[in-house]
Structure 1
Amino acid sequence: MASQKRKKSLFTWMLVLGCLAVRNTQAAHHSHDFHFTAIGTARSLLNLIVISSVDDVQLCYYNKQNQQVVMKAAWMYQALGANEIEQKHKKLISLEKSFHWAFKNLIKNETNGEKNHTLQVFVDCELDKDIQVSSQFQFALDGEDFCQMDEQLGRWVAMKPEAKRFKPLWDSALWNRLVKHYIQEDCIDIMKKILQYSSMRENVPPDVTVSRHDAPDGRVTLFCRASGFYPRSIMLHWERDGAPGVWGQESSSGTLPNGNATFYLQIILELPPSDPGTGYVCVVEHSELQTPATFPVPGKPSMERPWVTVLSIMAVIILALSCVGAFITWKKRKTAALQQKNVGEQQAFCILFMANSPLRHAANHQ
């Protein structure tokens, strides 16, 4: 019997640990992106700025002017290690030569060799439950799309006619091998190391507020705001009477970062004039919520009748005037009594003075 109890207890603990392990390994959607911005001429590279972000949180920064890799958080040095950071530093310095070569070949036919140009490269990779789901590699020259890698087609696509002359380079096995290696090593592998480091950001459930605005013309607008949550992936939608649907004009702010490495999202539903806005709830789905959470829309705020408000104001005014009038009356009475008292004292003084006056004594003597 005791043995069966121990087995049952062991099975329970194994089940609990298994659930915790599953929850920890079921990471939400994550993205890692690099922004390269190079400024140069046909003769020289003037500047190169590189910004790396995970889940829209900026992690590190590189500038050609000082050739230093700056980590935005101290724990990043521990997450990547000194050797890894030094290797990335050397790669970035070497990358300056690649951008210099790119400027010379992109604008080599330009007559004005001193004219400044801007070359931008955007690299992005995404993970869902530790599985790579997509990646992007795009080039832009002077603010216009130049070329990009099309994952579905499995080849590079020229966005401008000038880009077609680089087709032999893009189709080469060496170029494609370098691109795949960069995405795997510098984008995917680095992101995994960062996400495994617990100090990056603890998972936080969203703080949800739901409100409504009733316009004078009768239109009702509903607001659902989720803030302070991490990781970034979240779903918000409206339901009425327990069923999803579309009842008006919907809009969204998009998931945006906060200053503390968390995120916020707001969705808005503008209802038609005939809809009183009752029975609506905002449904929130996030990895830190065990089940989808529902947040009901508050009812229409009660409006006091105008005459009640007017009477209340009048009562306050009358009470204030009564208090002022009572004070003035009391002040007048007190002033009058004081004046009467002073007159009596003056009369008494005069009578006493006349009774003891030397003139009176002289008249009596005569």
Structure 2
Amino acid sequence: MEYKKTRRESFSFWLLIGVVITLGDTEAAYHSLEICFTAVGTTKSLLDFTMVSSMDGVQGSFYDKKDQQLVIKEGWVSQALGVHYIEKKRQKLVESEINFLWALQNWIQHDIKGEDNHTVQFWHDCHLDGDTHMSSHFWYAVDGETFCGVDEQHRHWVAMKPEAECFKPFWEVIFPYKKIKHYMQEDCIEPLRRISKYSRMRENVPPEVSVTRHDSSEGRVTLFCRATGFYPRSIMLHWKRDGVLGVWGQEDSSGILPNADATFYLQITLELPPSDPGRGYTCVVEHSELETPVTFPVPGKPTMKRPLAMILSILAILVLSCAVVFNIWKKKKTGTTSQQHLEDPLPLPPLLLQ
């Protein structure tokens, strides 16, 4: 009886939820919340335990075993969730440390002495499109290898390693998919919806866009379209040639990445074939803070007129400098000769020499 109770308690950390940060106030915007729990220890003791949550790739909250504090990076998110909710989650994080120690003790089968350090990780995420729940995922890893998870399509647990097979019946009984769905609704979907009501407190920012080109010595042209400093995250960048959409070369994208100030960054590139001079291209940007899609033309190929003018200017400066130096030298030379004539004694007349 005590054995079953211990195992039942070991899965109480399913109730945990990280606190997120930024969320755009668009009516239908896609957002993902990811929470990662990491426990490091031996089969005898838990050495470290942390939780990190992120929204759309931006870290929003952090918990560490050392100080047992749940740190939230945005004050308005704390206001949206409430002090009681945050304290409740902090307490669950503290209590969950024993659950991860249980995982280390039961899932590490090959460490007989129990002296080596091992890592158990738990990922938990959910995805919303506006108000609609799109998908969720749960999975564990032991020492960097996936151990088990939930198949959302078939709604049952899946053992990813042979060592996990013996735990599968236990998971199906103690924590079936029906419970997982309930916890996701209570601890992920509803908090996200609550935060969205406060999203007006987060100022939306349009993107700053720059378009450049690079002409290689081999004659190939590469185009760059860079958008940065925008919020919310959702944005579209695409190329047009002479106003027409198409695939004109080898396209690449950096993906939407977070900036340090919680805004976002995206760069797309287009490498053109050698026969394409890169004329007539534009980068089209679509974002919720732009009333209509905005077109940014690609600058033309740099001409040789400007470099030629610079070369001529430099030559003129060099010639003028040489002339000035020569003039100064000539004056010094003339001055030295005149001084010598003044200092030399005048020759005596022939009559005085007799």
- Give the TM-score taking structure 2 as reference length: 0.83
Matched, 1:186 2:187: yes
Q: Equivalences for 1:109-124 in 2 at 5 Å?
A: 110-124=111-125
213-222 or 275-284, which deviates more:
275-284
Structure 1 CA distance, aligned partners of 2:298 and 2:322?
Answer: 44
What is the rounded CA distance, in whole Å, between the counterparts of 1:338 and 1:127 in structure 2? 95
Shift of 1:318: 1.8
Partner deviation per Cα, 1:127-167 (whole Å, 9 max, x = no partner):
21222112121211111122222222322322222222222
> In 1, distance between residues paired with 2:304 and 2:153?
57
Residue correspondence of structure 1 range 9-158 to structure 2 within 5 A:
26-108=27-109, 110-158=111-159
Q: Is the 1:240–1:281 Cα contact (8 Å) retained in structure 2? A: yes
CA contact (8 A) 1:37 1:50 kept: yes
- Displacement of 1:168 in angstroms is 1.0
Aligned length: 323
Corresponding residue of 1:236: 237
Summarize the alignment of residues 205-224 of structure 1 with structure 2, pairs less than 5 Å apart.
205-224=206-225
Partner of 1:161: 162
Paired AA for residue 286 in structure 1: H
Further displaced range: 204-213 or 39-48: 39-48
Counterpart contact for 1:221–1:271, Cα < 8 Å: yes
> Is 268-277 or 297-306 further displaced after alignment?
297-306
Deviates more, 1:241-250 or 1:328-337: 328-337
Q: SS of the counterpart of 1:168?
A: helix
Q: Is the 8 A contact 1:28 1:287 kept in 2?
A: no
Cα offset, 1:311, TM superposition:
5.0
Partner of 1:225: 226
User: How has the CA–CA distance of structure 1 residues 309 and 288 changed in structure 2, closer, same or farther, with 3 Å as cutoff?
Assistant: closer
Question: CA 1:276/1:25 → structure 2, altered by over 3 Å: closer, same or farther?
Answer: closer
Query: Which structure is richer in relative contact order (CA contacts within 8 A, separation 6 or more)?
Result: 2
Shift of 1:178: 3.9
Separation (CA, whole Å) in 2 of partners of 1:271 and 1:63: 49
Query: Aligned partners of 1:149, 1:268: CA distance in 2, in Å?
Result: 38
Which region of structure 1 is more displaced relative to structure 2, 253-262 or 69-78? 69-78
Aligned partner of 1:282 in structure 2 is 283
- 8 Å CA contact 2:124–2:138 kept in 1: the answer is yes
**Which digits, 9 at most, give the CA deviation of each residue in 1:49-80, with x for residues without a partner?**
00112222222111112211122234443232
Please list the CA deviations of residues 236-277 of structure 1 after superposition, one character each: whole Å capped at 9, or x if unmatched. Answer: 221222222222111111111100000101111111101111
CA distance in structure 2 between the aligned counterparts of 1:156 and 1:241, rounded to whole angstroms: 53
Paired with 1:266 and 1:164, the residues of 2 have a C-alpha distance of 44
Compared with structure 1, are the counterparts of its residues 75 and 307 closer, same or farther at alpha carbon in structure 2 (3 Å cutoff)? closer
What is the CA deviation profile of residues 304-352 of structure 1, one whole-angstrom value per residue up to 9, with x for unaligned ones? Answer: 4987766554333221111111112223334445555x649x98xxxxx
Partner Cα separation in structure 2 for residue 152 and residue 176 of structure 1: 11
Structure 2 residues not aligned, in runs of 5+ = 1-23, 347-354
Q: Give the partner amino acid of 1:205.
A: P
The structure carrying a bigger helix percent of its residues is 1
TM-score, length of structure 1 as denominator length: 0.80
Kindly provide the amino acid, as one letter, of the partner of residue 165 in structure 1.
C
Q: Is the 8 A contact 2:222 2:269 kept in 1?
A: yes
Q: Distance in 2 between matches of 1:326 and 1:257?
A: 62
Distance 1:314 1:82 in 2: 72
Larger Rg computed on CA atoms: 1
- The CA RMSD measured in Å over matched residues stands at 2.6
Structure 1 runs not aligned, ≥5 long:
1-22, 348-366
Amino acid at match of 2:216: A
What corresponds to 1:258 in structure 2?
Answer: 259
Q: Which residue of 1 aligns with 2:350?
A: none
What SS does the corresponding residue of 2:332 show, helix, strand or coil?
helix
